[in-house]
Amino acid sequence: MTSLLFGLSSAALLSVTSLLIILFRVSPLTAPGQAIPAFFLSLFLAISTVGSLLFLGLWKLLPTHHWDMGRIVSISLRQGIFLGLAIVTVVLFHVFELLTWWIVVLVFLVFGLIELALNQ
């Protein structure tokens, strides 16, 4: 299980590094065809991996269930992916200038309800 945790940690480091490189080095004004999809992909990967690590730490800190390490890692990975999808969806609404506070609440509510349905 430590190899999976090491892989997730290294993926988080690489994805955050790629997000920072895209934010500081790529201009969406000169190359919008490559910059915008690369930004959204690196944002999704960075939030998913870092969120998975945070959820993994949270599930290990709060032992409310008697799950083995494999189940905890799979649940935290799924929750990290849902968090990444929700945040990328919110950023897309912001880019299209459709974002309001209740849309943010609805997006997170939808992904929270999907997670509750999958957790049952």
Query: Using 50, 70 and 90 to split pLDDT, how confident is the model at 1?
Result: low
What distance in Å separates the CA atoms of residue 99 and residue 117, rounded to the nearest whole number?
26
Domain boundaries, the chain: 2-119
Model's pTM, two decimal places?
0.89
Instruction: Report the pLDDT value the prediction gives residue 120, as an integer from 0 to 100.
Output: 77
Instruction: Report the pLDDT value the prediction gives residue 90, as an integer from 0 to 100.
Output: 97
- Side chain identity at residue 112, one-letter code: G
- Looking at the predicted structure, is the pLDDT value of residue 54 above 70? yes
Instruction: Report the pLDDT value the prediction gives residue 26, as an integer from 0 to 100.
Output: 85
What distance in Å separates the CA atoms of residue 49 and residue 43, rounded to the nearest whole number?
10
Instruction: Report the pLDDT value the prediction gives residue 35, as an integer from 0 to 100.
Output: 85
Q: What is the pLDDT of residues 74-103, one digit of tens each?
A: 999 999 999 999 999 999 999 999 999 999
Mean pLDDT, the chain, rounded, equals: 90
CA 112 vs. chain centroid, Å, equals: 14
The structure tokens listed for 68 are 């083995």
- Side chain identity at residue 109, one-letter code: L
What distance in Å separates the CA atoms of residue 101 and residue 27, rounded to the nearest whole number?
28
